[in-house]
């Protein structure tokens, strides 16, 4: 005989188990509350014990182009606003610059310096994590221009606002000093180069002047020698002419003696005298041929020969000799050479000397005040933060409360498991 089985209401049974489980948790709510309070208390103790950290930042933007016009107008140094901003950012990232800043202002790290720790060790421990430099690209942000954001995270007790402001000022002033030093070196090198160029031009001018003087003197000497050769040749020619004349006169005297011509006569007169004796008739003779020299008569020819023999110089008979002596007298002194040698200041005769002197004066009087030079503009000054960035109190307390509740519930559930009946009614 079969025994009838009573049907079991499964859903009703599960509902009863849930109610029983919730009731069990509620009965042990003190445990959940205890864990929550303990974790929240631990979080509060941690928040109270840990040193708060603050964060401060400043924005640096490039200056207007006109601010750097005085520097760029020197012609020796060219610096664009964007390049100046990059230089400032590079210096801010430099460990050496940061170390030099803290050496100059050790009071900012004195709260963090441990006993027996050097300043360099403190700077190395603090600098790597504290400083943060970010370049803001206008193409990837809402900013319309390039800019830098310098951030500093520092613990309580450190004057972070003053540190950021002084560090920014220190970096900018340091870059100003570097630019001033570079400009001085460039000016010194440029002046030295111009002076060397000037000396080179002066040496070239002196060489050119000496060459010109030598050339003038050489031309004068050549001309003198040619004139002297011409004078010598002329005198030899005149002497030869005189000797030839003496010979001609000697021959003519011999002929005149033989013909009995004592006084000057003409061929026609000489013929008439031979034929008709003495006559009171006067004749005019026209003859296209040269009359032989012996018709001058013995007395005239001898007088001329005696005069030629006693002559000491034939120079007066040749006009060209006077011209040669005049030219030689002029060549004895070259006034152009005297003037060239008398130049006391060669720089006055150099080409472009005015431009060179003007450039030297400009460079020597170049005085750009770096104090008034702006390399970067601080767009946002560092200000005191309103609250610490670490620890985040609300977040830590919230997570502690949540973790305490979950842990308390876990303990309650573990304690409830042995009490649960594994049997089910069917």
Read off the pLDDT of residues 189-229 as tens digits, 9 standing for 90 and up. 988 888 888 888 888 888 888 899 999 999 999 999 999 99
User: Among residues of the chain, what percentage have pLDDT more than 90?
Assistant: 8
C-alpha closest to that of 382 among 49, 108, 94, 84: 108
Domain count of the chain? 2
Q: What integer pLDDT is reported at residue 139 of this predicted model?
A: 60
Read off the pLDDT of residues 52-99 as tens digits, 9 standing for 90 and up. 778 888 888 888 888 888 788 888 888 888 888 888 888 888 888 888
C-alpha closest to that of 62 among 42, 79, 37, 75: 79
Say if residue 259 is in the same domain as residue 312.
yes
- Higher local confidence (pLDDT), 17 or 123: 123
Within-domain flag for 376: no
Mean residue pLDDT across the chain? 79
Within-domain flag for 55: no
- Higher local confidence (pLDDT), 271 or 338: 338
Say if residue 305 is in the same domain as residue 401.
no
Is the pLDDT at 11 greater than 70, yes or no?
no
As a whole number of angstroms, the distance between CA 363 and CA 36 comes to: 78
What are 401's two structure tokens? 């409360």
Is the pLDDT at 285 greater than 60, yes or no?
no
Highest mean pLDDT (candidates 115-129, 174-188, 333-347): 174-188
As a whole number of angstroms, the distance between CA 141 and CA 158 comes to: 32
DSSP letters spanning 52-88: PEEEEEEEEEEPPGGGGHHHHTTSS----HHHHHHHH
As a whole number of angstroms, the distance between CA 275 and CA 272 comes to: 5
Q: DSSP 3-state assignment of 318?
A: coil
Within-domain flag for 380: no
Say if residue 406 is in the same domain as residue 299.
no
Within-domain flag for 70: no
Q: What integer pLDDT is reported at residue 416 of this predicted model?
A: 66
Within-domain flag for 19: yes
Nearby residues of 43 by Cβ (< 8 Å), 6 or more positions away: 396, 397, 399, 400, 401
Within-domain flag for 320: yes
Q: What integer pLDDT is reported at residue 218 of this predicted model?
A: 92
Q: What integer pLDDT is reported at residue 426 of this predicted model?
A: 38
Say if residue 229 is in the same domain as residue 326.
yes
Per-residue pLDDT band at 355 (split at 50, 70, 90): confident
User: Among residues of the chain, what percentage have pLDDT more than 70?
Assistant: 82
Say if residue 412 is in the same domain as residue 294.
no
Say if residue 356 is in the same domain as residue 214.
yes
Say if residue 241 is in the same domain as residue 350.
yes
pTM of the model: 0.61
Domain boundary among the residues 319, 340, 362 is at 362
Per-residue pLDDT band at 137 (split at 50, 70, 90): low
CATH number of the domain bearing residue 243? 3.30.1890.10
Say if residue 312 is in the same domain as residue 260.
yes
As a whole number of angstroms, the distance between CA 100 and CA 120 comes to: 10
The parent domain of residue 328 ranges over 205-276+290-362
Within-domain flag for 323: yes
Say if residue 402 is in the same domain as residue 334.
no
Say if residue 319 is in the same domain as residue 406.
no
Say if residue 296 is in the same domain as residue 398.
no
Within-domain flag for 106: no
Say if residue 403 is in the same domain as residue 316.
no
Read off the pLDDT of residues 369-406 as tens digits, 9 standing for 90 and up. 777 778 888 877 777 777 777 666 677 778 777 877 77
């Amino acid at each position: 005989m079969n025994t009838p089985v009573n049907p079991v209401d499964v859903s009703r049974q599960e509902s009863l188990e849930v109610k029983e489980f919730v009731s069990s948790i509620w009965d042990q709510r003190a445990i959940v509350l205890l864990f929550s309070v303990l974790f929240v208390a631990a979080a509060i103790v941690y928040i109270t014990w840990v040193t708060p950290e603050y964060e401060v930042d400043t924005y640096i933007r490039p200056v207007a182009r006109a601010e750097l016009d005085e520097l760029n107008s020197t012609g020796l140094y060219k610096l664009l606003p964007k390049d100046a901003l990059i230089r400032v950012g590079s210096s801010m990232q430099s460990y050496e610059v940061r170390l030099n800043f803290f050496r100059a202002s050790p009071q900012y790290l004195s709260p963090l310096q441990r006993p027996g720790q050097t300043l360099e060790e403190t700077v190395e421990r603090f600098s790597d994590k504290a400083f943060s430099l970010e370049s803001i690209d206008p193409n990837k942000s809402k900013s319309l221009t390039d800019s830098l954001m310098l951030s500093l995270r520092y613990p309580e007790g450190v004057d972070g606002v003053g540190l950021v402001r002084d560090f920014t000022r220190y970096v900018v002033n340091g870059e100003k000093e570097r630019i001033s030093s570079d400009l001085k070196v460039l000016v010194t090198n440029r002046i030295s180069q111009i002076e060397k160029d000037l000396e080179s031009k002066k040496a070239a001018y002196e060489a050119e002047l000496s060459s010109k003087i030598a050339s003038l003197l050489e031309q004068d000497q050549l001309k003198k020698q040619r004139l002297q050769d011409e004078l010598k040749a002329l005198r030899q020619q005149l002497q030869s002419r005189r000797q030839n004349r003496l010979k001609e006169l000697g021959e003519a005297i011999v002929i005149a003696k033989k013909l009995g011509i004592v006084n000057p006569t003409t061929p026609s007169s000489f013929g008439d005298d031979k034929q008709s004796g003495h006559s009171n008739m006067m004749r005019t003779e026209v003859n296209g041929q040269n009359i032989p020299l012996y018709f001058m008569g013995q007395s005239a020819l001898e007088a001329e020969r005696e005069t030629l023999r006693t002559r000491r110089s034939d120079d007066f008979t040749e006009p060209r000799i006077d011209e040669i002596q005049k030219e030689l007298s002029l060549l004895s002194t070259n006034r152009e050479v005297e003037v060239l040698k008398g130049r006391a200041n060669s720089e006055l005769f150099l080409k472009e000397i005015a431009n060179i002197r003007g450039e030297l004066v400009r460079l020597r009087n170049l005085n750009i005040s770096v104090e008034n030079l702006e390399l970067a503009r601080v767009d946002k000054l560092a200000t005191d933060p309103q609250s610490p960035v670490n620890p985040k109190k609300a977040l830590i307390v919230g997570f502690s409360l949540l973790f305490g509740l979950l842990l308390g519930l876990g303990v309650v559930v573990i304690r409830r498991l042995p009490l649960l009946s594994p049997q089910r009614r069917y």
